Chains A and B, each alone.
Chain A
């Protein structure tokens, strides 16, 4: 079965520190990959996406993600975290063009210490 796993339920970092949120996927072929952010009680905002090509993807708000086929991973990174980055982060995937059934991970809650 297709699945997306986010191993870390909750991560706490200090403001200014670097951040890496982990995401692993299990699909028959390389899926389309996404990272979304959700503030409390809000909808989902797309941070970045990977369809093909360059495996290092730049997104909004200074985030980037690296696709590693050998590890079935798509980890999200930010070199310096701001207090406003505190939110829930979701990794998601779908199987390809023409299909838009997103499978989400359970999310990683990010807390930022001032």
Chain B
């Protein structure tokens, strides 16, 4: 039990639609990151939010966007869905400080685009 919860657990969308995935981080964690894990692959970093500001982004187009809220929740939004967006989306929360720390992952949202 990591204390990080994601919703929904599964989702089916049609190509071209928009989707919002949600994550509730551990209390006190100031950083949330989102990862995309395609079938049979390792997770790929999408972006990171620190104190409600995006402060790192991987190789994903602008139609992937996010928000982080003061209540330790966050969202991943994907516009104009493509078939290749089908994947497990993982949220990770962490407390970033001078000593470095670890990420706590949620169970993920399985997105299928048809």
Show the binding face of A for B, using Cβ within 8 Å: 4, 32, 34, 36, 41-46, 49, 51, 90, 92, 96-107
What number of B residues sit within 8 Å (CB to CB) of A? 32
Identify which of residues 1-28 in chain B touch chain A, using a CB-to-CB cut-off of 8 Å: 2, 4, 6
Q: Which residues of A contact B33 (CB under 8 A)?
A: 100-102
**B86 interface residue (CB < 8 Å to A):** no
Residue on B nearest A41 in the bound complex, by CB:
B110
A104-B42 Cα distance, complex, nearest whole Å = 6
Instruction: Determine how close the nearest CB of chain A comes to the CB of B47; give it in whole angstroms.
Output: 9
Residue on B nearest A36 in the bound complex, by CB:
B105
Contact of B90 with A43 in the complex, beta carbons under 8 Å: yes
23 pairs, A vs B, C-beta closer than 8 Å: A41-B88, A43-B90, A46-B103, A46-B104, A49-B102, A51-B99, A90-B43, A96-B100, A97-B96, A97-B98, A98-B96, A98-B98, A99-B56, A100-B56, A100-B96, A101-B33, A101-B58, A102-B33, A102-B92, A104-B35, A104-B43, A106-B41, A107-B41
A41-B108 Cα distance, complex, nearest whole Å = 8
Q: Which residues of B contact A46 (CB under 8 A)?
A: 102-104
Contacts known (A34-B102, A43-B105, A44-B90); A102 close to B43, Cβ less than 8 A: yes
Contact of B2 with A105 in the complex, beta carbons under 8 Å: no
Instruction: Determine how close the nearest CB of chain B comes to the CB of A52; give it in whole angstroms.
Output: 9
Instruction: Determine how close the nearest CB of chain A comes to the CB of B49; give it in whole angstroms.
Output: 10
Residue on B nearest A9 in the bound complex, by CB:
B40
- The digit string for B94-114, where 1 denotes a CB below 8 A from any CB of A, is 101111111111111010000
A34-B42 Cα distance, complex, nearest whole Å = 13
- The digit string for B37-53, where 1 denotes a CB below 8 A from any CB of A, is 00001111100100000
**B68 interface residue (CB < 8 Å to A):** no
Instruction: Determine how close the nearest CB of chain A comes to the CB of B60; give it in whole angstroms.
Output: 12
Q: Which of A36, A97, A101, A105 has the most CB of B within 10 A?
A: A101
